[in-house]
Structure 1
Amino acid sequence: MLGPENTMMSFEKAVENGAFGLESNIYLSYDEVPFLMHDNNLRRTTNIREVMPNASFRHSSLFTWNFLSTLNAGKWFVQFKPFYNMKPLSEADKEKARNQMIPKLSDLLEFAQKEKKFVIFDLNIPPPKHPLRKTFVRRVVSVILDSQIEQHLIYWLTAFDRMYVKKKAPGFQQVGRLYSIERLTKENISKINVDYKKLFYNGLRDYKAANININLYIVNEPWLYSLAWCSRIHSVTTDNIQLLRQINHPYFFMTPSHYMLMWFLLDGVSAVFIVSIFYFHWWKENKENVSESSSSHTDTDSINLEKGKSDHQKASNLSIKPPSRVLDSPWTRKAIYPRLPNSSISNYPGPRQFLVAPKKIDSKPEPDNEPLKSMMPAKVDVRQLTPSEASELILAPTREATREPTLQTALPALTANEPTISSIEVLHPETQHQSTFTVEPFPRNRVSTTSDMSLSSSGFSPKKN
Structure 2
Amino acid sequence: MTTANFAHRGVRSLAPENTIPAYQMALACRADGIEVDLQVTSDFQLVLFHDRTLQRTTNVAKCFPNRSADPLHSFSLAELQTLDAGSWFITRDPYGTINAGEVSATELRTFENTRIPRFSELLEFLSSNHLKLNLELKKLPRHDQLPSFIEKVFDLLKSSGITPDRLSVSSFEHEYLKKLLEYRPDFELHALIDCKITDRFLSNTPFVQIINANAKRITYKQYRKAQAKGFSINLYTVNDIKKMQEFLNWGVAGIITDYPQHLTTLVEG
How far the C-alpha of 1:194 sits from its partner, in A, is 0.8
**1:122 and 2:122 equivalent?**
no
- 2:66 is paired with a residue whose SS is helix
Q: Which residue of 1 aligns with 2:81?
A: 69
Deviations 1:201-258 (A, max 9, x none): 76111112234221111011110101101111121011112222222489xxxxxxxx
Deviations 1:122-165 (A, max 9, x none): 2122325x983664333323332232211222212132343442
Q: Percent identity?
A: 26
Give 2:265's aligned amino acid: Q
- 2:235 is paired with a residue whose SS is strand
Match of 2:158 among 134, 145, 154: 145
How far the C-alpha of 1:99 sits from its partner, in A, is 3.4
Give 1:182's aligned amino acid: S
Unaligned runs of 5+ residues in structure 1 are 251-465
How far the C-alpha of 1:85 sits from its partner, in A, is 5.6
How is 1:80-229 mapped onto 2 (pairs within 5 angstroms)? 80-84=92-96, 87-88=100-101, 89-128=103-142, 132=145, 135-158=148-171, 159-178=174-193, 180-184=201-205, 186-187=206-207, 189-200=208-219, 203-229=222-248
Q: Which residue of 2 aligns with 1:415?
A: none
TM-score, with structure 1 as normaliser: 0.50
In 1, distance between residues paired with 2:175 and 2:86? Answer: 32
In 2, distance between residues paired with 1:30 and 1:131? Answer: 14
TM-score, with structure 2 as normaliser: 0.83
Unaligned runs of 5+ residues in structure 2 are 1-12
How is 1:66-465 mapped onto 2 (pairs within 5 angstroms)? 66-84=78-96, 87-88=100-101, 89-128=103-142, 132=145, 135-158=148-171, 159-178=174-193, 180-184=201-205, 186-187=206-207, 189-200=208-219, 203-248=222-267
In 2, distance between residues paired with 1:117 and 1:232? Answer: 21
- 2:30 is paired with a residue whose SS is coil
Over 3 Å counting, the alpha-carbon distance change for 1:248 and 1:168 in structure 2 is closer
Deviations 1:51-104 (A, max 9, x none): 111111010011111111121110101111111466332210110111311101
Misfit runs of 4+, over 6 Å: none
- 1:110 is paired with a residue whose SS is helix
Larger strand proportion, structure 1 or 2?
2
How far the C-alpha of 1:116 sits from its partner, in A, is 2.3
| Contact 1:176–1:192 under 8 Å retained in 2 | yes
| Contact 2:170–2:177 under 8 Å retained in 1 | no
Aligned residues: 247
Give 1:169's aligned amino acid: R
Superposition RMSD on alpha carbons, in Å?
2.3
In 1, distance between residues paired with 2:261 and 2:95? Answer: 13
Give 2:247's aligned amino acid: A
- 2:39 is paired with a residue whose SS is strand
Give 2:74's aligned amino acid: L
In 1, distance between residues paired with 2:267 and 2:27? Answer: 18
Q: Which residue of 2 aligns with 1:391?
A: none
